[in-house]
Amino acid sequence: MTELFIHGDRRSGKTRASMQLLVDHCRRNDNQKCVWYAATYEFCKLALHEFQSLYPLEIGEEGYKIIKRRPMKIIFRNGSYIELRSAQSPDYLVGEIDFLVIDEASFFPIAQIEVLRTSIALNGGARIVINSTKSWEMENQEPKE
């Protein structure tokens, strides 16, 4: 399993860079099940908006279509797709995944992260974990007395 951890300040391009890696993976590989996992449905909508700004609707060989109902999906012509899932619906945690992005990981309980890690390990897939520097620092602070 390939893992990449991205930490950075707000507006540093973490989401954009991760989205580009995910889309490149979908375009290069047929029939891939990819998941963008965010803490809330609102974060999923923001990720979809980011996708649409990076990749205006393309017609032709590289094209895709978007399904805006839950779970939201971006479906590519080669059979690969990206589902945008929310931690607010834990039913979506199960299943094998080829490529996973966990957006703002510090918002997730450790148990959910482990379930997702297992889902990705079944296929030997890849995982990107995004977190803001401030969240990461708060999470790894020494306890105050």
pLDDT per residue over 57-77, tens digit each? 664 556 677 777 777 888 888
* Total domain count, the chain: 1
pLDDT at 7: 66
pLDDT at 1: 57
- Residue 128, in any domain of the structure: no
Tell me the HSE value of 101 on the side-chain side, using a 13 A CA sphere. 26
d(Cα 34, Cα 103) in Å, to the nearest integer?
13
Kindly tell me if the per-residue pLDDT of 30 is higher than 90.
yes
Check which CATH number belongs to the domain holding 45 and give it.
3.40.50.300
pLDDT: is 46 or 137 the higher one? 46
- Residue 137, in any domain of the structure: no
- Residue 56, in any domain of the structure: yes
- Residue 110, in any domain of the structure: yes
Q: Are 38 and 86 in contact (CB under 8 A)?
A: yes
pLDDT in tens, 88-134: 766 666 677 898 888 888 888 777 877 777 777 777 788 888 887 65
Instruction: Please report where in the chains the tokens 């966990």 appear, as a residue.
Output: 102
Query: What is the residue type of 100?
Result: L
Enclosing domain of residue 27: 14-122
Strand, coil or helix: 8: strand
Tell me the sheet residues that pair with 2: 126
- What residues have CB less than 8 Å from 28, skipping those under 6 apart? none
- Residue 2, in any domain of the structure: no
d(Cα 82, Cα 34) in Å, to the nearest integer?
5
- The predicted model scores a pTM of 0.77
Of 45, 24, 43, 42, the C-alpha closest to 34 is 24
